[in-house]
Amino acid sequence: MNRHVYQHVAPEELHGHVLRGSLLAGRTKVQSFEIAELGHYGRALLLEGCVQSTEHDEHIYHESLVLPAQAYSPRISSVLCLGGANGGTLKQLLKLPHLERVRLLDIDPELHEISKRLLPHMHGDTLLDPRVEIAFGDVFTLVSALVDTGACFDLVVADLPDATAGCYATSLFSAEFYDTVLRLLTRHGIYVTQAGQAHVLYSRFLNRTLRTLGGSFAHVIPYTITVPSYGCPWAFALASAGVDFSAVSPEAMARRIAQLPEAALASYDHETHLHMFHLPKALRLALAEDVPPLTLDQPETVQIAAQPP
């Protein structure tokens, strides 16, 4: 009989997968993990029992996280990636037409080595690209140290794990962290982050993330996409001090998206972009609720948690 894995997508709502087999499970110094075969999603990475990526739909998440910034930027040549050492994000970043360098910062070198061996579809040959540099350590500390060097980037991508209770990622959704990131961006620089569930009945984390970004950046815009293995629509946000997203013309966006290698894109294109940035009315109403910003002293956690068998 097949086992199942279940995780919350809201406090009283579960999403489940058939677990066809487990290749490796354990714990690094940072987190518990499992590399498993999930239903018709193929090989998958689970952290703390929750699905992070699957072989057959990771492209939806990673293309949606990385590529929409291309539509709003005059030129992305330098990128800082926060998290993502388990693969997926670099594949998409290397598709940006003007990219010259990528610096990736991650907290878990052990899981990175495991993913290279057991999740080769996530990495491809990205780690051989001379434009890529990877460093490991506490991400908040590494970002603060970069500020002190005077480094600047056209795009900062936050490919972070879910901000669950006890997870290091909660600090990376705080006002203090966003103020630090702002100092790393060029004049037309853009910050993009995953922002939790786009669940119309459970949108508080997303709402607080947007309010917090708005305290540091002059311009913030949310967008969503359905990642089937997650069990509910997922949210992202773009933020910038110098790019007014609403002022970028449709013609400019279409022209910039057309510069991406269409044959290499599995889910993102101009039509998908337009769909992602038109939020349904119910979600827009939910996000109109006045909520406090996220701080190191007042974090918010998402209800993405594994259900014990």
Task: List the catalytic residues.
Answer: 159
Closest CA to 302 of 1, 48, 9: 9
Closest CA to 161 of 111, 210, 222: 111
Integer angstrom CA distances of residue 222 from 97, 119, 194, 202, 203: 24, 30, 10, 16, 12
How many residues are recorded in the chain? 309
| 12: CB partners within 8 A, 6+ apart | none
> Long-range contacts: 8-14, Cβ < 8 Å, 24+?
8/303, 8/304, 8/305, 8/307, 9/197, 9/199, 9/202, 9/230, 9/231, 9/232, 9/303, 9/304, 10/197, 10/199, 10/201, 10/202, 10/232, 10/303, 11/202, 11/303, 13/202, 14/307
CA 237 to chain centre: 9
